[in-house]
Structure 1
């Protein structure tokens, strides 16, 4: 099983069925907070829905299509960070993440994404990693910006969020540009 130690407080592990109740709890209690930026909240209405997501994630991982990990902070699952998809022919991956609102402001996701990107370049031998975030999602955008990603452009009306479209900012990092930032 994949486990990546981030630091003394955080590690990443593949999501598994043992995480279903906790992930649903986080999703449900942060629903209003997450809904501002994530389009899938209406599809997760029970632990059963979360179990289905985990099954799909594990299948996608075994097929080398994606890698969704639970972010574990002080021995509690607090969110998800991972590679939403891989393009192996071009050696690229796209990173996505979300965090329970009660754990924001502690640098958890910043540290997790930094470790994930480092893993992507050093272990998976990716050449390019991309992160996209809605233009007005400043908290999410601050992560690639602080990690030194290059803002490559804006995709107009890139995502439908329940009742409106949002534009995305695309950030990219190449393997030759990556320098593991210190904590």
Structure 2
């Protein structure tokens, strides 16, 4: 299993669908009200089988080098996921997506995970630019991007279709030489 150790508390790991589906689904269930506000896939994640299917698919994408989805492990327990959603070869860029179980917020987990993904992206995936897209009214996600040193490029109107309709989105970027 691929594991990237961030520090004594935190690591990123490739998913093991049959092992990780149950605990990840339980985290989604317990955090559903918070996650569903910002993540359009949450209502479709209805069972452990759905989670296992998703994890199997992301491993296929990893094998095809089209995306990288990793489990965030805090004290060796799954607490969320972080990903390079896709790689754009033409401009050597990628976009980070992430979610964290509600009960683990406030522990600086996502900030450290984002910085680790930036290191991986620039060192191992030959990207020049990493983006984070966050709804303007999602303070936690915008704070993660800002704290990690991303530059706010601007706001894109009606760029995110969420549970309650379209939201404006902030585009945050970090370049390899920053």
User: What is the TM-score when the length of structure 2 is the normalising length?
Assistant: 0.96
Q: Secondary structure at the match of 2:90?
A: helix
Aligned to 1:180: none
TM-align CA RMSD: 1.0
CA deviation profile, 1:129-156 (whole Å, cap 9, x unmatched): 0001010111111111112111111111
Q: Which residue of 1 aligns with 2:5?
A: 5
| Alpha-carbon distance in 2 for matches of 1:89, 1:61 | 19
TM-superposed deviation, 1:163: 3.1
Aligned to 1:48: 49
Q: Which residue of 1 aligns with 2:25?
A: 24
Q: Which residue of 2 aligns with 1:95?
A: 96
Distance 1:90 1:2, change over 3 A: farther
What TM-score, normalized to structure 1? 0.94
Unpaired runs of 5+ residues, structure 1, are 178-183
2:14 equivalent in structure 1: 14
- The 5 A counterparts of 1:21-170 are 21-170=22-171
SS of the aligned residue for 2:38 comes to: coil
| Equivalences, count | 177
Tell me the distance in 1 between the aligned counterparts of 2:69 and 2:22: 16
- Structure 2 residue ranges without an equivalent (≥5): none
Report deviation, 1:25: 0.2
Q: Distance in 2 between matches of 1:94 and 1:173?
A: 10
Give the distance between the partners of 1:3 and 1:85, measured in 2 at CA: 20
Q: Which runs of 4+ in 1 moved over 4 A?
A: none
Q: Classify the secondary structure of the residue corresponding to 1:36.
A: helix
C-alpha distance in structure 2 between counterparts of 1:134 and 1:153, whole Å? 12
Measured after TM superposition, the shift of residue 164 of structure 1 is: 1.0
